[in-house]
Amino acid sequence: MSNHSEIHLRRKPIADAMYELDKYLNDVFLSKLNTVKVIHGKGSGQMREAVWDALSEHPLVKSYRLAYPGEGDSGVTIVYMESPDR
């Protein structure tokens, strides 16, 4: 992962991607980043659905949304992290 503010999950098996996403979110939280991008691609939507399921249950995620045009559109989810000071 070259840029710590985003993770690329495209073309990965969903189980592997979910493992990487969980580890990434924990690392991001410890790094005190507030906002990150999850690049899941557009495709069939299966990866985005899996990502959103994981984000909805993750205790370190405050909220998330689909990226706007110019941010990655429907192939990217923007994630807002909980504050480490909570």
* 24 neighbors 37 (Cβ within 8 angstroms): no
Task: Give domain limits for the chain.
Answer: 6-81
**Gap between the Cα atoms of 72 and 23, Å rounded:** 22
Is the pTM value of this prediction over 0.85? Answer: yes
Per CATH, domain 6-81 is 3.90.550.10: no
Q: Is 1's pLDDT higher than 90?
A: no
Q: For residue range 18-70, what is the model confidence (pLDDT) as tens digits?
A: 999 999 999 999 999 999 999 999 989 999 999 999 999 999 999 999 999 98
Residues 6+ apart with CB under 8 A from 29: 60, 81, 82, 84
Q: Is 2's pLDDT higher than 60?
A: no
* 47 neighbors 16 (Cβ within 8 angstroms): no
